[in-house]
Structures are given as C-alpha cells and as structure tokens.
Structure 1
Amino acid sequence: MKIYLSNDYFSDLLVRMAHHSTAIEGNTLTQGETKSILIDNYIPRAMNMRELNEVLNYKSYVNQMIDDLKHDVSINNEFIKSIHAILCNNAIDGVAGRFKTIPNLVIGADFTPTPPYLVPSALEDWRANLQYQIELAKNTDEIIESILRQHIQFEHIHPFSDGNGRVGRALIVYSCLQAHILPIVIPVNDKQRYINCLNTENMAEFMAFAKELQANELIRLQALANNNEHDLYIEVDL
C-alpha cells in the first residue's frame, strides 16, 4: 500500500539525519540541540561554529532533497557534488562540492580509495551499476541490498577529501525514497555495527541491520502521519 509522507515526518527525518550523520563523524551536539536549531530556530548554548554549520546544512539539504524527489532527479556526478556542496558548506574549508585532488586513505582499511583522476569515471560506473541493479530488482529486499552494496562501493571510491560518509548516507536516504521505499537512517548509537558492516562487507548482516532500521522508521512514519502531505509516498507491506 502507499503511505504519503507528511511535513511532520520530513521535519523528524531532517533532525535525525542531521544529528546522527554528523554525530557519526564526531559532532557533539545532542539530538535535542539539533532539533532546537533546525525546528525551533533557536541556538540553545554557545557552540562550535563548525558543528553548528554541519547541522544547519541539513535544512538546506532536506529541502533540496524533497524538491529533487518531486522531480525524480537522477543521481549523477554533478548531483553527488551538489550534495557535498550543501552538506559541507562552511564546515569543510575550501573543498565543498569538489572531488579530491590528492590521494586519500581510510584509516585501517584493507583497500586503497580510487585515485583522484579516476573518480569521475568510477562514480559514473557506480551510478550505472546502482541503476541497473534497482531496475532488475524483483522485490524491495533486492532494492535495499543494491543500495547497501553500492554504499560500500561509494565509500571505497571515497571521492572527496572529507565528508564522504555523510554524502554516502544521504545517498542511501535519497535512493530509498526515490525507489518509494522506507529510508534507512543510520543511528549514531549503532555506529560500530554500521562500521563493521562497511569493514567486513557482510551483506547479510547489513541487510538485517537495515531491515531493523526500516521497521523502526515505519513506526515513526505512521505516528507522524497527518493530512498535510507532500506529493511523495512509499510502498510498504502491512
């Protein structure tokens, strides 16, 4: 059945995306403080400007995401750079919206990220593979698996000098909603489980984790249902 996504739901999604994704990267603002900033337009205490900007950027991003979803905007290199530009604005000096120009490493990883000169072509292959897998998917589980598998590959490419994790997680949410399925928001309290899925590439565990998160997402979505609807919906089996 179709469930339409309300304004209240998107406000809730905004706060959780902003808090959890930045907290995974080390931002110390609480979810309550993030809600105060993004929903109540009130800064509750003196805080680090970078941390403040990191969460403020999500208001711009979620507004853009909703518009992109309404127009079914396809993922491509410019789209990915635009996400980075919004999420890293005034948070990462001088590189927001630009692919890396110097080789980078992921600490402790057993792979070497894609070299800078190959990033554009690697991301084009990544996009084509994601689209192909979703088009061939026979059911929702296969769509979820495709999105998760490609998330791991995105982090292996590591196309930016910084901010790869938050862009990759934003792409998970966008890809899910574009496919009209429940979004997957990685909570900071499950950071270690998430990192383990990335490190081991254990798709069975990653799928189990994602399905748990989607079950919780459905509860929130239904609790926040109202008549103030966006022209967006997801398909769920109830």
Structure 2
Amino acid sequence: MRPQIVLFGDSITEQSFRYGGWGASLTDTYSRKADIVVRGYGGYTTRWALFLLHHIFPLGSTTPPVATTVFFGANDAALLGRTSERQHVPLEEYKENLRKIVRHLKECSPTMLIVLITPPPIDEEGRQIFATSQYGEKAMKLPERTNEVSGIYAKECVEVAKELGVSSVNLWSKMQETEGWQKKFLSDGLHLTPDGNKVVYEEVVKVFNGAWLSAPDMPSDFPHHSEIDPQNPAKVFQERCL
C-alpha cells in the first residue's frame, strides 16, 4: 500500500483539489509515491474538528498516515458581534484544541509528521466587497474578520507547534512578504487564488523535504514500464512485488 498523507482542515483544505489547488499539486508531486487524502470541511473550526478526530484518525489503525497537515484558524478568528460570530473560538480554546488534535495524532502514530498551518492573512477590503456581493445593502459595514486578529491566531498556532515539537507553516507571515498579496493570493479576502495555493504547496513541500518525505527519494509503487520485459512481463513483478 502507498503511504497516506492526510490534509485536515477547513474550506481552504476542502477546496485544495480545485484547479491550481495546493492539494492537487501535492498529488501530482507524490504520484505513485503516496496517496493525498483530503479531509477538509468548509466553515469548521478547531472546536468542531475535535468531533472528527476518532473518525478520521482512529486509534489502533494498522496503517495511520505518515503525515498530516492541520489547517484551522481562519474561522476560529471570526469576530464576535460580526456576521460570522457563530464560528468564533476564543484564542485560548483555539490553542488548546490544536494541542488536543496534535496529541491525538501522536497517539495514532508517534512517527507521523505533523504540520500545523496558520490561518492566512485577511484582506479586509476584499472581504467587505465579497460580503456586499452576497448580501447587498444588508451586508455589515464592519468586516467579520481582521488581519490583525488573524495574525494573533497565527502567532499562537506557531507557538503551539514549537511547544509540542511539531512543524509549522506561518502562512500569515509568508504571504505578506509579497507586495500586493491581498489580490495576488486571496480571491475574496480569505480564500486562495491559484497563486495563494502555490504558496501553501511550496511551504508544505519545503517542510516535507526537510523531514523524510522528499518525493524524489521515495520509492514508486510497482515497476516503471521501462523495466517490463514484453516477452516475459511476469519476471519483474515476481522479483519486485512478491
């Protein structure tokens, strides 16, 4: 069986197999090396993600994932008193929920590579334009998320990763290194454009390569077609697969 890499997160993970998506790019990179399994749930927070852990990552599995990305926080950081307040998770609870997720994954497999990904930055103007397009005059005048608050959640996500000895990708900081990031990387002030997806892909692969999941170094399943003798095709399969 090919090893599995699970992408666990909210809508940014759920959408990762769209055109130009970071999950689709990972699938291409790890073709015949590992199966990329998407477990993304639009609108979910770390609070709701806890209810999924035992279903997606059952304890006692004989084939746990070799790696898991944990990409929550964009919804947790929604502000109270605004349009998306039902998704708000207080900062301290967000941190503790991340700890619970990581501890569960470690219990599933002590060798699993775990990567926490921070929420992306927020383009508040873009978010407001999106709200107006959806709700017209009923749209709230204040954005339901701010870049400042998302940055606070991102910082704590990185701190939890350090505390628990797992890897992290600070997407909030990385994207803002590029001038004009608001429109280049974000389609509606929150979700990712193909360029934004590329940033996630590159940062995740960088972590994987720095660990022990470099795709070029991993074996392919079954022989390459050039190794198959058309006169005796069974030979290479008997040598390599039995």
TM-score calculated relative to the size of structure 1: 0.30
The structure carrying a bigger helix percent of its residues is 1
The structure carrying a bigger strand percent of its residues is 2
Task: Report 1 or 2 for greater relative contact order, CA contacts < 8 Å, sequence distance ≥ 6.
Answer: 1
